[in-house]
């Protein structure tokens, strides 16, 4: 997104300066915007990874059920059949 802003800004600057700057300024603006986009997105991805790892830690640290509790719930769920 910033590369488009750089391209348009470079075109405006290049048109005002004239000569070879008509071609040089848009390319330079696009390049600077592209580098800024990449740095910005790299930072955004790092922040996303930190949020993911925090949620994973919360899921892992949930208290585990004791075997007695699991056995009691299994017994309640399975009906006893009498002959």
**What is residue 78's three-state secondary structure?**
coil
Does 67 reside within a domain?
A: no
Domain count, the chain: 1
Range of the domain at 16: 2-58
- State residue 24's pLDDT score: 94
Asked if the structure places residue 64 within a domain, the reply is no
Instruction: Please name the residue ranges forming H helices in the chain.
Output: 2-17, 21-60, 67-77
Give the predicted TM-score (pTM) of the model: 0.51
Q: Which band of pLDDT confidence, cut at 50, 70 and 90, is reported for residue 3? A: confident
Q: Which residue has the higher pLDDT, 81 or 54?
A: 81
The alpha carbon of 53 is separated from its chain's Cα centroid by a whole number of angstroms, namely 13
pLDDT score for 15:
93
The first and second tokens of residue 46, run together, are: 């790092």
Q: What pLDDT is recorded for position 67?
A: 61
Q: For 14-43, what is each residue's pLDDT tens digit?
A: 999 999 999 999 999 999 999 999 988 887
């Amino acid at each position: 997104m910033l590369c488009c802003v750089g391209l348009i800004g470079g075109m405006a600057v290049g048109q005002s300066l004239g000569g070879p700057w008509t071609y040089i300024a848009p390319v330079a603006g696009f390049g600077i915007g592209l580098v800024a986009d990449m740095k910005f997105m790299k930072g955004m991805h790092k922040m996303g990874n930190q949020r993911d790892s925090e949620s994973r830690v919360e899921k892992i640290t949930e208290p585990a059920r004791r075997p007695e509790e699991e056995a009691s719930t299994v017994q309640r769920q399975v009906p006893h059949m009498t002959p």
